């Protein structure tokens, strides 16, 4: 199995409720290594660009509002099969459909405020890492 990197973000609903450590624990316990991390406020323009693929969806406006409502923690995770593993640890987008023991099942407020983001494939992982981090900020 190849070592992969993926992009992860702890969303404002989770930082607001002081859940950063609990979420990082879930990721690390699954064998993922945090090789870069910073807590930042993202701008409206950054949120709109980051979620640009969803621009025409009815939830886009609310998504941009919630993503800019407070700080986020952006991360690069590394490990075997990291992209899929991170998606498994996060659980389904809709917390009511997420498996027990997943981040979204245990911590999400709603489908919109669902506590965590994770890249959905190798191409988006690469793009999303580069959106927030320079190579010199990532240390394996
Ligand atoms: O985050 P994930 O890849 O699981 O889901 P997505 O389909 O790429 O949607 C991105 C984000 O938009 C979700 O994580 C939710 O925060 C939000 N969303 C929403 O508010 N309502 C929906 N029906 C679908 C997604
Ligand atoms: Mg997605």
The pLDDT tens digits of the residues spanning 23-33 come to 999 999 999 99
Q: Is the pLDDT at 36 greater than 80, yes or no? A: yes
Nearest CA to ligand 1 atom 17: 112
- Does the annotation count 54 as an active-site position? no
Task: List the residue whose alpha carbon is closest to atom 25 of ligand 1.
Answer: 112
Which of the following is catalytic: 5, 26, 85, 117? 117
Ligand 1: residues with CB < 6 A are 54, 59, 63, 93, 111-112, 114, 117, 120
Average pLDDT over residues 54-79: 98
C-beta neighbour count of 17 within 10 angstroms: 12
> Is a pLDDT exceeding 90 seen at residue 1?
no
| Per-residue pLDDT at 85 | 98
User: Where residue 53 falls among pLDDT bands split at 50, 70, 90?
Assistant: very high
> Model confidence over 68-95: pLDDT tens digits?
999 999 999 999 999 999 999 999 999 9
Average confidence score pLDDT of the chain? 98
Residue 78, pLDDT score: 98
pLDDT on residue 76: 99
Of all atoms in ligand 1, which is nearest to the CA of residue 120? 3
pLDDT of residue 80: 98
73 Cα–ligand 2 center, Å: 17
pLDDT of residue 7 exceeding 90: yes
* pLDDT at residue 17, as a whole number: 98
Order of all β-strands in the sheet with 33-40 = 33-40, 72-80, 3-10, 116-118
Average pLDDT over residues 115-124: 98
The alpha-helical segments, DSSP class H, found in the chain are 12-16, 20-29, 44-50, 60-67, 82-90, 103-107, 122-132
Distance CA 2, CA 17 (A): 35
pLDDT score of 95:
98
- Tell me phi and psi for residue 78, to 5 degrees: -130, 145
Nearest to 112 by CA among 63, 55, 57, 51: 63
The answer for residues whose C-beta is within 8 angstroms of residue 19's C-beta and 6 or more apart is: 10, 107, 115
Ligand 1: which atom is nearest the Cα of residue 114?
16
């Amino acid at each position: 199995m190849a070592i992969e990197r993926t992009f992860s973000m702890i969303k404002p609903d989770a930082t607001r409720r002081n859940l950063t450590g609990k979420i990082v624990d879930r990721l690390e316990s699954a064998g993922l290594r945090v090789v870069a991390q910073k807590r930042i406020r993202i701008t409206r323009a950054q949120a709109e660009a980051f979620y640009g693929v969803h621009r025409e969806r009815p939830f886009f406006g609310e998504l941009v509002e919630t993503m800019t409502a407070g700080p986020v923690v952006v991360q690069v995770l590394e490990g075997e099969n990291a992209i899929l593993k991170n998606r498994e640890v996060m659980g389904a987008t809709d917390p009511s459909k997420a498996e027990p023991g997943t981040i979204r099942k245990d911590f999400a407020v709603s489908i919109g405020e669902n506590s965590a983001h994770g890249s959905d494939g190798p191409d988006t992982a690469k793009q999303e890492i580069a959106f927030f981090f320079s190579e010199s900020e990532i240390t394996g």
